[in-house]
Structure 1
Amino acid sequence: MENPSPEKSINLFHCLNELKDHSLVQEVQTYLSRGGDRHLFGARLSPAQWSALVFMMLNSEEELDEFDVWKYDPSEECLLRLLPVVTASRKALLFNCGITDEGCAALAAALRSNLSSHLRELNLNLNEPRDSGVKQLSALLEHPHCKLEKVELEHCSITDEGCAALASALRSNPSSHLRELNLNQNNLGDSGVKQLSALLEDPHCKLEKLELSDCRITDERCAALASALRSNPSSHLRELNLNDNKPGDSGVKQLSALLEDPHCTLEKVELYNCNIREEGCAALASALRSNPSSHLRELNLNYNKLGDSGVKQLSAVLEDPHCKLEKLELDSCSITDKGCTALASALRSNPSSHLRELNLNHNKPGNSGVKQLSALLEDPHCKLEILE
């Protein structure tokens, strides 16, 4: 016999409640009163008990701002049973709880059928929806009434097929509210990245943050993304995460051409462990120096082999009074005392510098480099707040 739908169970619970039968409430409260998180972990609730829990949560005086499945039972069953609560919440934290394409389909259907849903942020990181589940979510994002602003799908076994479905859905919905999309640690493939590029090229696209860390982005795929953004002067994109990919110097040169464009609105670029060397670093530095109207505020170049020669190029950027960088990360970049001296000298010579955070961890500044950096911090004009 099939379990009744959440709606039917809730109706049944309403009847019991009107008859002043509070036994279900008491049973559920017993589970919820257990200490720590995961109150329902290992519990075998009946459909009626699940419905009692839904009723209690929907009628609670507490505002349903955030639903965290880990506070109850990190499982797909918990999601399916508490769907009415999820759709009534503003943020849903459903990461790492075994959600498959079935759970994604049910969630998408519930949100499509509830035009008054409050859900704005959805975190499905570390689940297994795969392409089939992502297609269901794409159908939701295609819906003109969908109000989602942030979707996280990190490490969800998505390939180019699922990525293409997402991009196509967003392109076909000019009224989409989506501003942040996290696709980290998925194998998007050439066609998937091409679809994303086509999305970024669309003047109706309102994405402000795109995360593609560890997505096998090569120099060609990086070039496609950069070209799309260059061709869209009305782009809203502010943050681009390409950490742990392999664009190399050739891909970074394409990104540099983007940063050189006066219409580029990027404020934060992350290129951690991207196989960048002196040549790529020089291209980035040249682009920033030649664009006094650059919006870039944060640049992450950690774990690249920039060396002292690459850092000297960046120092010339920091020396420029037009440079608006506020955070620069150079952890593990093969920097010695010469590079540290160049950085310190550049910042001392630019009293209007905006730099507030500088990360030089895991380099080899030596005693002379440390002295130069110490002298910089003692300078009354230095605005650095964090030096690592």
Structure 2
Amino acid sequence: MECWEDFCSILGTHPKLKQLDLGSSILSEWAMKIMCLKLKNQACKVQSLTFKNAEVVSGLRHLWMTLVSNRNLKYLHLGNTLMEENDIKLACQALQHPKCSLETLRLDSCELMPVSCHILASALCGNRTLTHLCMSDNSLRTEEVRRLCRFMSNPECALQRLILKQCNLRGDAYGFLALMLSHNGKLTHLNLTMNPVEDGGMKLLCDAIKKPTCHLQEL
């Protein structure tokens, strides 16, 4: 325990530290609480935080509060980290807070439930800084894609990069994505790698890209 406290103390005393990677770690709620207290320190300059493949479920609530307190934090990677519905709710409350400065959020392989996807989608309109969202390797139903695209069509959504690699997208999901592309002038990058696309879906996407209101640069 003392070693962990000593390690975390560096966060507030070493301003040159910009990236912290705790991937594949097993962190208790106590450990997360101690670390997040240091991350909230104004002297902490960490901009990138990675918890890929980490076991941190019980302490995630402390992390969400950090998003509001630390204006330097721009990048958060929670890939392959199991999150409960309440975690998503708290995350979205933080994302919608005017003091949240997060720009990139990675939720790859987080086994997101439908209700969690709905909550996350609604937070996109209340956040002016989040420009990169990765939801790869989460199975998304058509209804979840529809809701995501509806909020992305809102002019208040700042998202520029959306990564939906291997999300099992099918059928009408491509119609909703195409409609969103026609109305969203900010999205420049859309990754749909490893999703089954039929001719009809491809045609809808291509027709949307041709429209002058679509600013997509990479597909």
1:30-63 CA-partner distances (Å, limit 9, x unpaired): xxxxxxxxxxxxxxxxxxxxxxxxxxxxxxxxxx
Match of 2:138 in 1: 245
What does 1:264-275 align with in structure 2 at a 5 Å threshold?
Answer: 264-275=157-168
What is the distance in 1 between the residues matched to 2:137 and 2:3?
Answer: 30
Match of 1:145 in 2: 43
Alpha-carbon offset, residue 132 of structure 1:
3.6
Question: What SS does structure 2 have at the residue aligned with 1:222?
Answer: helix
What is the distance in 1 between the residues matched to 2:98 and 2:56?
Answer: 26
What does 1:69-80 align with in structure 2 at a 5 Å threshold?
Answer: none
Match of 1:310 in 2: 201
Structure 1: which amino acid aligns with 2:7?
Answer: L
What does 1:330-345 align with in structure 2 at a 5 Å threshold?
Answer: none
Match of 1:105 in 2: 5
1:100-146 CA-partner distances (Å, limit 9, x unpaired): x776433212333x2x5311111222222344432222112222222
Match of 1:166 in 2: 63
Question: What SS does structure 2 have at the residue aligned with 1:278?
Answer: coil
Structure 2: which amino acid aligns with 1:257?
Answer: R
Match of 2:151 in 1: 258
Residue identity (%): 28
Alpha-carbon offset, residue 274 of structure 1:
1.4
User: Any runs of at least 4 consecutive aligned residues in structure 1 with deviations exceeding 4 A, and if so which?
Assistant: 101-104
What does 1:35-54 align with in structure 2 at a 5 Å threshold?
Answer: none
* Residue 217 (str. 1) matches residue 108 (str. 2): no
Contact 1:104 1:134 in 2 (8 A): no
Contact 1:278 1:305 in 2 (8 A): no
What is the distance in 2 between the residues matched to 1:315 and 1:170?
Answer: 37
Aligned pair in 2 of structure 1 residues 131, 213: CA closer, same or farther (>3 Å)?
Answer: farther
Alpha-carbon offset, residue 275 of structure 1:
2.3
Structure 2 gaps of 5+ residues are: none
Alpha-carbon offset, residue 260 of structure 1:
0.6
Match of 2:32 in 1: 134
What is the distance in 2 between the residues matched to 1:109 and 1:239?
Answer: 30
Contact 2:189 2:216 in 1 (8 A): yes
What is the distance in 2 between the residues matched to 1:138 and 1:205?
Answer: 15
Structure 2: which amino acid aligns with 1:287?
Answer: M
Aligned CA RMSD, in angstroms, stands at 1.8
What is the distance in 2 between the residues matched to 1:280 and 1:105?
Answer: 47
What is the distance in 1 between the residues matched to 2:195 and 2:31?
Answer: 36
Match of 1:119 in 2: 17
Alpha-carbon offset, residue 296 of structure 1:
0.9
What is the distance in 2 between the residues matched to 1:263 and 1:170?
Answer: 20
Contact 2:95 2:126 in 1 (8 A): no
1:149-193 CA-partner distances (Å, limit 9, x unpaired): 11111111121x32211002322x1x5210001111100111111
Relative to the length of structure 1, the TM-score reads 0.53
Question: What SS does structure 1 have at the residue aligned with 2:172?
Answer: helix
What is the distance in 2 between the residues matched to 1:105 and 1:191?
Answer: 27
Contact 1:249 1:279 in 2 (8 A): yes
1:317-368 CA-partner distances (Å, limit 9, x unpaired): 122133221111xxxxxxxxxxxxxxxxxxxxxxxxxxxxxxxxxxxxxxxx
Question: What SS does structure 2 have at the residue aligned with 1:151?
Answer: strand
Structure 1: which amino acid aligns with 2:216?
Answer: L
Structure 1 gaps of 5+ residues are: 1-100, 329-388
What is the distance in 1 between the residues matched to 2:2 and 2:56?
Answer: 15
Match of 2:55 in 1: 157
Aligned counterpart for 1:191 among listed residues 70, 86, 96: 86
Contact 1:252 1:284 in 2 (8 A): yes
- Count of aligned pairs between the two proteins: 219
Match of 1:324 in 2: 215
What is the distance in 2 between the residues matched to 1:301 and 1:311?
Answer: 11
What is the distance in 1 between the residues matched to 2:72 and 2:47?
Answer: 5
Question: What SS does structure 2 have at the residue aligned with 1:309?
Answer: helix
Aligned counterpart for 2:186 among listed residues 283, 290, 295: 295
Relative to the length of structure 2, the TM-score reads 0.92
Match of 1:43 in 2: none
Relative contact order: is structure 1 or structure 2 higher (C-alpha 8 Å, sep ≥ 6)? 2
What does 1:81-96 align with in structure 2 at a 5 Å threshold?
Answer: none
Contact 1:189 1:216 in 2 (8 A): no
